[in-house]
Amino acid sequence: MWARAHNAVFGGIHKATAEWLPGFLARFIFAAVLLKYYLNSAQTKVGDGVAGFFTIDDGAFVQILPKAMEQVGYDSTQLAFFPEKLMVYAGTYAEFILPVLIVIGLFTRIAAIGMIVFVLVQSIVDIVGHHADAETIGAWFDRLPGSTILDQRSLWVFLLLYLVVYGAGKISLDHLFAGRRSE
């Protein structure tokens, strides 16, 4: 009797929400927790004002390629276009574009894959390039859930993996445009 009641209640909740709530909540939580984080970070990599958006600041090179910048005396003009400058330009604009795409639910799966790669590269740069300490890196299964890299970013990647596998859901531009293609 209890099992039947349990299945009826939670089966009904699942049926009523499965197609729209999880994808919407994943994107909402991404927006609430990470959107401003990434947009503010991206803003530190470009110049001021509208025209500044098209100017990559030397700070971007220091943030993304700290060891390479140190080797060239912090003169970004000494870096090669490929791969160094291209990586900084792509990373900077991806940090603006990918989070927005996820929040509005447009090309969500591709944007989430891009963000997973971004988080992994960001973590490697923090560890190798910026010499993150053991406390910042953290360790899994250590009873301390507050490390920036292994603990927090693992949860970020899980959220993004959900979007890769299941998509943005019915409350998204992906769903809207998919419906129009099928007409």
Local structure of 167: helix, strand or coil: coil
Tokens of 11: 């089966």
Is position 14 within any domain? Answer: no
Cα separation values, 72 from 41, 65, 116, Å: 24, 11, 30
Render pLDDT for 106-133 as a digit per residue (tens, 0 to 9).
999 999 999 999 999 999 999 999 999 9
Is position 3 within any domain? Answer: no
Average pLDDT over residues 29-55: 95
Cα separation values, 77 from 17, 56, 131, Å: 53, 12, 25
Is position 7 within any domain? Answer: no
Local structure of 9: helix, strand or coil: helix
Domain around 74 = 20-181
Render pLDDT for 78-95 as a digit per residue (tens, 0 to 9).
999 999 999 999 999 999
The residue type found at 43 is: Q
Is position 120 within any domain? Answer: yes
Is position 1 within any domain? Answer: no
**Residue 179: what pLDDT?**
77
Distance between CA atoms of residues 78 and 72, nearest Å: 6
Helices assigned H by DSSP within 53-140: 58-64, 66-71, 86-104, 108-124, 134-137
- What domain count does the chain have? 1
Is position 29 within any domain? Answer: yes
Is position 63 within any domain? Answer: yes
Q: Identify which of 65, 59, 93, 92 has the alpha carbon closest to the alpha carbon of residue 79.
A: 65
